[in-house]
Amino acid sequence: MTDSDCTTCFLCVIKLLTVCVLCRPFTPDELRQVAQTVSSDWNSLGIRLGVSSADLDALNRQHSDSTRAVIAMLAHWMQLRRQYATRSALKGALNGLGFGAVATRLFEHD
């Protein structure tokens, strides 16, 4: 992602930063940690992120392992929502599900 790709935050839009911490891409480790944390409640996370119930059902059928299902759901969310699939959005969804401590730990530098 470059500054020209970012339209989600003021800092990137006015080009003060190449990509600010709120807009930088997720690391594979961060996605794995989210998946392991919410594995039992991943459908609720998907709904909060705007993934349809039909898409969640399809992902559930495709992946018997919940960690893989969460990672697939997050990848689908990022593709579906594009510039709105931000670190801030994921952090807010995690907070809304009661995973605030995990969100803070994962995104402490954001």
pLDDT at res. 86:
82
Q: What is the pLDDT of residues 7-22, one digit of tens each?
A: 444 444 444 444 455 5
Predicted TM-score (pTM) of the model is 0.74
The 3-state secondary structure of 42-96, one letter per residue: HHHHHHHHCCCHHHHHHHHHHCCCHHHHHHHHHHHHHHHHHHHCCHHHHHHHHHH
Residue 87 lies in a domain: yes
Residues of the chain below pLDDT 70: 1-24, 108-110
pLDDT at 21: 54
Return the pLDDT at 13. 44
pLDDT of amino acid 48: 94
Residue 11 lies in a domain: no
Instruction: Report yes or no on 2 lying in a domain.
Output: no
What is the model's pLDDT at position 106?
75
The per-residue pLDDT for 65 is 86
Angle between helices 53-62 and 66-81 (to 10 degrees): 140
How confident is the model at residue 24, as a pLDDT? 64
Contact assessment for residue 43 and residue 60, using Cβ atoms and an 8 Å cutoff: yes
CA distance 13 to 10: 5
Position 69 in a domain? yes
Looking up residue 89, the CATH number of its domain turns out to be 1.10.533.10
Give the total number of structural domains in the chain.
1
Range of the domain at 36: 25-106
